[in-house]
Structure 1
Amino acid sequence: MAESAPGTLIFSFTGPADRRDWLVAELGELGFGAFDHQPDRLEGFIDESLWTSDLRVKLKELVSRVGCRLVDERRAAPENWNATWEAGIEPVEVGGFYVHPPWHSPRAGAVSLCIEPKMSFGTAHHETTRLILSILDGLVEPGSSVLDAGTGTGVLALAARKLGADRIVGFDIDPWSQENALENLARNQEGGISIRAGGIETVKDEPPFDLVIANINRAVLLEMLPDLVRLCAPGGRVVLSGILRPDEAQMREALAREECTCLEVIVEGEWIAVVAARA
């Protein structure tokens, strides 16, 4: 009897929303190729042919480390799950931008940001990305300089370029982010943006920036904040997201310790973005 074709294994995870976002990045390194974000859970898809007992051990350790729970796993018959996942990614219009994957056409009258997400964060389907895009037009001046910390797909760096920023640098610790971001720059026919693989040490010798953007998570933001503020020019703006509403007070206190004045807090769902001015 002929062997059946490999199917797809689907794993369901629960946990705080910010932890699930972090989990996506880690699962990509294990070979998971697509994800479905539900209000109460995250589903990850991996080709059955890639699955091993060693991966199961790594998955168990990862879920525990990130602070999520594996609540279900099941097998689906062979299907092109990447195509199914892609078909479910719809364009997002926010802040005058039209963020769309390559398989959707630009929209007349809106600033097009063509983003192929792959395994990097930043498709404008998450609240934190939309929050920053919604206010970016009022923060980027023509000819200004912008630092994009945790650049992911490069969507925020691209948006800053579309608004007229001149010197733009993005960095991300995720190994696939640099390649993905550079592909998206080429796809949008935008050059002159430096994308670096690594952490904030990759920009430590850069001159100060007029605008510093960081869409990461609370723990990393708090650790990185002194360096982010140092890299912001006096009188410049620091925009932070990846922050849940209950963490607003802690983030305000951390900014105050760095002699930054909180100018605005915007909210979408359970998430916030904070705009601050450096003294």
Structure 2
Amino acid sequence: MKYLQFTFIPTPRSQTATDLLCAVLADAGFESFQEQEDGLLDAYIPANTFDEDSLRIALDSFPLPDTRLSYTWQEAEDRDWNEEWEKNFFQPIVIAGRCVVHSTFHHDVPDAEYDIVINPRMAFGTGHHETTGLVMAELLEMDLQGKTVLDMGCGTSILAILAKMRGAKEVEAVDIDEWCVNNSLENIELNGVDGIKVRQGDASALADMGPFDIVLANINRNILLSDMQQYVARMTAGATLLMSGFYEEDVPLIRAEGERLGLTFVHQKSDKRWTLVRMTK
């Protein structure tokens, strides 16, 4: 799949501006982000899904009126993401003191109860982003033994892998991006876990899948609001839905849609304003 690489220049530059820019760009279909040390942001979107009007609307909605945004773009070449991450000093990360995430090029990896190896390609999901960390920490607190789990928008399948390591009986991972599917298969093999099925597709692929005891959806606000009904339809009675990929101010919308579909709000957790919502059926 061909990608376009956009480099965004916020003026003035700040971490808040970068975080908010990621959020509005995700709503416009951008899938991957990489912050530069000088405050610039690289963002990637499939060439066949890019829509200039959607980008303009997203930038017009940017919530910092005193910040000016400009950008350049180019076609993104396929890259060796192991080399990119090694060059950018990607370090192992420990989640909730119990799970370490690292790549094959790392040495001196900390010991942990769960050890996950991720080789990133054009798919992000290494535990470093707040949303991934929030969902992983929640999974570490849950009883997954014998459960059926769906990882929707799986990316690297890091969540699916952790669910399987924690005793899930069957795990299915779905992503619309062929790169993510291929990267997921590689990561599953690297971790030596069995019983994870990976499928390319969107929420329409769920029609012949499940039902599931736990659904994980770390995507973005707009897709969650659009597809939540299809998630709920594939959940067992008493099932849990974990959603992330949005900000604290989006929680009322997410919660209202879940409750409209018959779900019960359990709690929310946040990290740097990125938020996880847990609901049950």
1:250 and 2:249 aligned: no
How far apart, in 2, do the equivalents of 1:43 and 1:200 lie? Answer: 27
How many residues align structurally? 249
Q: 1:227 to 1:149 in 2, by over 3 A?
A: same
How big is the alpha-carbon RMSD for the aligned residues of Structure 1 and Structure 2?
3.1
2:149 touches 2:215 (CA, 8 Å); kept in 1? yes
Q: Give the match for residue 35 of structure 1.
A: 34
2:56 is aligned with 1:64: yes
Cα distance change, pair 130–37 in 1 and its aligned pair in 2 (3 A): farther
Compared with structure 1, are the counterparts of its residues 195 and 35 closer, same or farther at alpha carbon in structure 2 (3 Å cutoff)? same
Which secondary structure does the structure 2 equivalent of 1:19 belong to? helix
Q: Distance in 1 between matches of 2:84 and 2:197?
A: 33
1:94 partner amino acid: I
Are residues 1:16 and 2:17 paired? Answer: no
* Equivalent-residue separation in structure 2 for 1:202 and 1:185 (angstroms): 21
Offset, 1:258:
1.0
Q: How far is 1:228 from its partner?
A: 0.7
Give how far 1:125 is off.
1.3
Residues 8 and 72 in structure 2, CA contact (< 8 A), matched pair in contact too = yes
1:211 is paired with a residue whose SS is strand
SS of residue in 2 equivalent to 1:98 = strand
Change beyond 3 A, Cα 1:248–1:44? closer
Give unmatched runs, 5+ long, in structure 1: 1-8, 29-33, 46-54, 75-79
In the other structure, the counterpart of 2:121 is 118
Q: 1:24 to 1:228 in 2, by over 3 A?
A: closer
Distance 1:177 1:202 in 2: 16
- Contact (CA 8 Å) 1:140, 1:160: kept in 2 or not? no
Does the Cα contact within 8 Å between 1:143 and 1:165 map onto a contact in 2?
A: yes
Report sequence identity in percent: 28
The answer on 1:90 being equivalent to 2:86 is no
Distance 2:57 2:254 in 1: 24
Which residue identity is paired with 1:36?
Answer: E
> Which residue of structure 2 lines up, in the alignment, with residue 237 of structure 1?
240
> What TM-score results when the alignment is normalised by the length of structure 1?
0.78
Mean Cα displacement is larger for which, 211-220 or 93-102?
93-102
Change (3 A) 1:59 1:263: closer
List aligned pairs for 1:97-112, cutoff 5 A.
Answer: 97-105=99-107, 106-112=109-115
Q: Secondary structure at the match of 1:238?
A: strand
Contact conserved, 2:154 with 2:174, CA < 8 A, in 1? yes
Tell me: CA distance 1:147–1:37, structure 2 relative to 1, closer, same or farther (3 Å): farther
1:167: which partner in 2?
A: 170
CA deviation vs aligned residue, 1:191-240 (integer Å, no higher than 9, x gap): 22011101122221123111011000000000111111111111111100
Query: 1:189, CA displacement in angstroms?
Result: 1.1
CA shift for structure 1 position 109: 3.0
* Paired letter, 1:86: E
Q: Which deviates more, 106-115 or 235-244?
A: 106-115
Partner Cα separation in structure 2 for residue 213 and residue 190 of structure 1: 18
The Cα of 1:108 is off from its aligned counterpart by 1.9
Is 2:188 the counterpart of 1:185? yes
Q: Deviations over 1:141-170 (max 9, x none)?
A: 211110011000000000101101011001
Q: Which amino acid aligns with 2:253?
A: Q
CA contact 2:100–2:111 (8 Å) conserved in 1 = no
Distance 1:127 1:100, change over 3 A: same
**Cα offset for 1:21?**
4.9
Distance 1:274 1:234 in 2: 18
Q: After TM superposition, what 4+ stretches of structure 1 lie above 6 angstroms from structure 2?
A: 58-62
**TM-score, normalised by the number of residues in structure 2:** 0.77
Change (3 A) 1:238 1:44: closer
**Is the CA contact (8 Å cut-off) linking 2:8 and 2:42 kept in structure 1?**
yes
Q: Find the aligned partners of 1:213 and 1:10 in 2 and give their Cα distance.
A: 29
Greater Rg over alpha carbons, structure: 1
Name stretches of at least 5 consecutive residues in structure 2 with no aligned partner. 11-19, 63-67, 74-78
